[in-house]
Amino acid sequence: MANGKIPVTVISGFLGAGKTTLVNHLLSENRHERIGVVVNEFGEVGIDGQLIVAEQEALIEINNGCVCCTVRADLVASVKEMLNLAGHRLDRLIVETSGLADPAPVLQTFLADPDLRTQVELESVITVVDAVHLQDQLNDEIVREQIAFADTLILNKTALVSHTALADIARQVRQLNQTASLLPTNHSRVAVETLLGTKRFSLPNLLMIEPDILEEEGHDHEHDASISSCSVVTSGTLDPDRFNRWINQLVNDQGQRLMRMKGLLNFTSEARRFHFHSVHMLLEAMPGRRWADDESRDNRFVFIGRDLDSEQLRQGFLDCLQAA
């Protein structure tokens, strides 16, 4: 920015909307800038940080909480740590929030902390909206606030819904936010110059939505107590047929309660890591890069949902391991 401060883009959106895909797209298409990334996940095991293509020293993960709540102090510390490490070599910063994060306290962090205000400046607040699942998510206050606080809305997965449904979704989004840019897309692919390099964040607009945003205790936020996460980290190889049968049966039985699943998987006789994602009934698995020779081939899997039976889920995953 002209004032010498590092521009910050906050990327928000509900579970599985396509935030990490968007971050990777921005990093891959903008290699002339050195971009720092802070990624937060709901749960004690991080997956998204391992999927982001940022340089390792320019990537910080915050796990086991929501960046808007108990680990907010970690956000301040992480940003300051990154600025100290990267110093003047950092051109911009991207903060990817948890899918369950209320954006108001996140923005408050950058607006109210005196040290950060001298070094960084909010450029834009982008919310990724899941066109497939938005109708079922609009009753959630967090979803509505993520949309309302954005200056740019990315309507993702549009190829999976009809034109009629898409028009209805756009109308509902506009009822929550009349001023933000609305960009329909698939796979979170939006031209980089459309999203980065232009200051869209407006404090006066934000104060109209949240008058107490600059007050330290101005925002009270509680999560739905029924939502929790559980995770599995284990060595060994997964039997692909057994895993496919289990995961499809699981989604068939509990798809509405399982809001989000994601994992890095080590399949038998496969030299590549596999990335697994699901949002309710929608499943996706794809190969990633080859496992490095000196890399621990651990399976990492996270479940997020309502009223989860953690032990049953963990055991179901472990039962898919190839017998020794």
pLDDT at position 184 is 96
Helix (H) or strand (E) holding 124: strand 120-130
Distance between start and end Cα atoms, the chain: 57
- Rounded Cα gap, residues 199 and 195, in angstroms: 9
pLDDT digits (tens, 9 = 90+) for 92-112: 889 888 788 777 777 877 777
CB 67 within 8 A of CB 101: yes
- Angle at 159 (CA atoms; ends 126, 261), nearest 5 degrees: 65
Global pTM reads 0.73
pLDDT digits (tens, 9 = 90+) for 178-237: 889 999 999 999 999 999 999 998 776 666 666 555 555 544 555 566 777 788 889 999
Write phi, then psi, for 153 (nearest 5 degrees): -115, 125
Q: Give CA torsion, residues 162, 165, 170, 171, to 10 deg.
A: 150
How do the pLDDT tens digits run along the chain, 324 residues long? 557 889 999 999 988 899 888 988 998 888 788 888 888 765 444 444 444 444 444 566 655 444 444 445 667 777 887 777 655 578 888 988 878 877 777 787 777 778 888 888 999 999 999 999 898 888 888 898 899 889 999 999 999 999 999 999 999 999 999 889 999 999 999 999 999 999 998 776 666 666 555 555 544 555 566 777 788 889 999 999 999 999 999 988 887 788 888 888 999 989 998 988 887 777 888 888 899 888 889 998 988 888 889 899 999 999 999 876
Write phi, then psi, for 126 (nearest 5 degrees): -105, 130
- Rounded Cα gap, residues 324 and 315, in angstroms: 17
Closest CA to 46 of 29, 32, 64: 64
Closest CA to 203 of 115, 129, 112: 112
CB 18 within 8 A of CB 45: no
CB 10 within 8 A of CB 101: no
- C-alpha distances out from residue 178 to 157, 211, 224, 290, Å: 21, 18, 27, 45
Which domains, ranges and CATH numbers included, belong to the chain?
6-209 (3.40.50.300), 227-318 (3.30.1220.10)
- Rounded Cα gap, residues 197 and 299, in angstroms: 38
CB 126 within 8 A of CB 70: no
